[in-house]
Structure 1
Amino acid sequence: MRIAFYAPLKSPDHPVPSGDRQMARMLIEALRLCGHEVEISSQLRAYSREASDAAYLDLSKQAEAEIARLRRKWASGGPPDAWFCYHPYYKSPDLIGPALAGGFSIPYVTAESSYSSRRNEGARKLAQEAIAAGARQAAVNICFTARDRKGLEEAIPEGRYAMLPPFIDAARFEGTPRKMQGAARLIAVAMMRPGDKMDSYRMLAAALQLVVDIPWTLTVVGDGPARAEVQQAFAALPAERLAWVGENAPEAVADLLFASDLYVWPGCGEAYGLSYLEAQAAGLPVVAQATAGVPEVVRNEETGLLTAASDIAHFAEAIRRLLGNAAMRAEFGSRARRFVLEERSLTAAAQRLETIFGAFVRRAG
């Protein structure tokens, strides 16, 4: 099939790295592994940080221009066989695909669409209505987490839904995990920006102060506008225990994970967190919170330890527990690696996508 791919939050070609960009790129690769021809249909970023009628009107006008452009293009060269929209939600709805899919009678597909009824107010209401209409129209709404599926099903029970668990390209993790020698090597990989990421950094710093009596070092991989604030949060910890390596290429991140022993990241507000899957692919057990979508990618007491939200003391105790139990750490790490390589790889995702397309998309086309 020829698939028109669109990510209203952030194009796969966007210069700034993020989990959204990474997942968009991997979805494209998974679709291509299925044998589909995929083209990024639009670079329009339909994102509004603040709610306002004026911002929504401006985005609508830009979307109308894109619709007109693509209509002209498809009128001469033929339409694609399906429109695939990744991650439409109240801050970045798909204002292009539904009109084109309806006008050209092709299947409309969403992946990681989300809907929360508490956003149905003020200037966000129009965006919410667009999300709901798209979910109703979709041949299938592909959900990455049970949390997102529940939200959609409760609001749009007549929609069609299928599950595709979060996944990564595990090809970079085909090496051999290393065993811990000397001080434990902790690692965290995350952008440095205000909001949930900053909350996680603060919680991690506070938890590490509670385990400063045992030997460990922490490698922090990431950069961003809140770098100074992040480093300040760790100021009470011994500087020699911290390594700030900044943003790294994916291959270098894989090497850093392989050289570590334990992945520590609270995950405040994480939709799911692809870095957890990458860490586990490198054979690292994880310490995180049992919050938001994190339990979708880390199996508590099997591949890591998940603690209650905002409980710094128990988060610290989970770190202490794993660092003090070599057998548990090794078993969790082995299970984690097997979990990702066998169940959450690009190949596994492509197979699941092909099943979904066979059940919903080709039948609708």
Structure 2
Amino acid sequence: MTRVAFYAPMKSPSNAVPSGDREMARNLISAIKLNGAVVDLVSDLRIYDKTGDPQVQTQLRQAAQAEVERLIQDLPHDTQLWVTYHNYYKAPDLVGPAVCRALAIPYVQIESTRAHSRLIGPWADFAQAAHKACDAADAIYYLTANDLITLQREKTHHQTLAHLPPFLPYRNLPAASNLRGPMLSVGMMRHGDKLASYHIIAETLHHLTGSWKLDIAGDGPARAEVEQMMAPFGDRVRFLGQLDRETLQAIYGQAGLFLWPGVNEAFGMVYLEAQAAGVPVIAQDRPGVRDVVLTPDAPQPEEGSQALAAQVITLVKDPVKRKHLGETARHGIAQSHLIGATSKLFWATATPLLKEI
């Protein structure tokens, strides 16, 4: 039986507040467990500085040092591998490298980034710590081609870089959509990048012709702004609110196509969910997004909302093409983006590193 220590400095999988980071951490634990391994969540300590505050960083370093000292004493003696999820300049792993060095445990990371632009400025110390944590890793699993660029450039001589595509926590595909329902958009309604995607969707709708409808699943502090954007379209746009997984899956099962531009998405789990149901995706060709959107010919962001609208119009008018694209994407999800494939990829790299007990 393999024993694995798991740590997520950005946000613990036990955190009470839902988020994509928490969901991904939980899914990774499930994937690692698939081969029968025991996974211990060894720390809930959150190392996260949102604003670049030196005082916050000092306090977090002190807390991390105390956690290192505790874990050197308390970590199960038969731990064979340490896994850290999401090490980056706002949330560097200040715990894992020191513990692994003291106890001679192999250390790996999943979804880590090196940000040279942050080596000066308010996050400089934390950015450097994130780089050092990357240097210490025996293996780093990267999720997107964009992350690979700097990881490859600064790879240490002993280090393995392995691709671990974003994935869904399913062993099998859900039921396929009948593609008879309205278009669908799914996204939190918060200020910043999510609201920017909603702006592009509203602009896209202004360019549409013919008969169309859009369902929007999601909620959040920017809902009033989103509703105002969509007001000109009347009852053609329906707000579904925040949905649980089962209800959202039923919505995917009827959606005609999925529309989400993807402004600054790391990759976007909603794209995988839609395509798993055979719903073709219309998005912009952006870093991260292009790693998970399997529908071809996504327009460049600089082509604007008119290019997205042209794709919507084409697919709405051509149900045969829409079905073909959805089936092709669904096949791609089955091949590379379900939990079984992820578990195999993880262990293919991790097994040679295991500490002998």
> 1:236 offset after TM fit, Å?
2.1
Change in 2 beyond 3 A, CA 1:199/1:172 = farther
Secondary structure, in 3 states, of the residue corresponding to 1:220?
strand
**Runs of 4+ residues over 4 Å off in structure 1:** none
Partner of 1:178: 178
Backbone CA RMSD of aligned residues: 1.8
> 1:34 offset after TM fit, Å?
2.0
1:194 lines up with 2:191 in the alignment: yes
Secondary structure, in 3 states, of the residue corresponding to 1:307?
coil
> 1:289 offset after TM fit, Å?
0.7
C-alpha separation between the residues in 1 aligned to 2:89 and 2:356? 26
Partner of 2:350: 357
> 1:17 offset after TM fit, Å?
2.1
Change in 2 beyond 3 A, CA 1:15/1:215 = farther
Pairwise mapping of residues 250-289 of structure 1 onto structure 2 (< 5 A)? Answer: 250-289=245-284
Partner of 1:23: 24
C-alpha separation between the residues in 1 aligned to 2:355 and 2:145? 25
Partner of 1:51: 52
8 A contact 1:172–1:254 mirrored in 2 = no
TM-score after normalising by structure 1: 0.92
> 1:316 offset after TM fit, Å?
1.2
C-alpha separation between the residues in 2 aligned to 1:364 and 1:143? 26
1:64 lines up with 2:102 in the alignment: no
8 A contact 1:117–1:155 mirrored in 2 = no
Secondary structure, in 3 states, of the residue corresponding to 2:109?
strand
Partner of 2:226: 230
Partner of 1:160: 160
1:216 lines up with 2:184 in the alignment: no
Pairwise mapping of residues 308-347 of structure 1 onto structure 2 (< 5 A)? Answer: 308-310=300-302, 311-347=304-340
Secondary structure, in 3 states, of the residue corresponding to 2:301?
coil
Query: Percent of counterpart pairs with the same letter?
Result: 34
Counterpart among 195, 201, 204 of residue 204 in structure 1: 201
C-alpha separation between the residues in 2 aligned to 1:82 and 1:171? 25
Partner of 1:144: 143
Secondary structure, in 3 states, of the residue corresponding to 2:232?
coil
8 A contact 2:91–2:130 mirrored in 1 = no
The one-letter code matched in structure 1 to 2:293 is: V
TM-score after normalising by structure 2: 0.94
C-alpha separation between the residues in 1 aligned to 2:11 and 2:301? 29
> 1:224 offset after TM fit, Å?
1.6
Unaligned 5+ runs, structure 2: none
Secondary structure, in 3 states, of the residue corresponding to 1:289?
coil
8 A contact 2:185–2:217 mirrored in 1 = yes
> 1:177 offset after TM fit, Å?
2.4
Partner of 2:285: 290
The one-letter code matched in structure 2 to 1:78 is: H
> 1:176 offset after TM fit, Å?
3.6
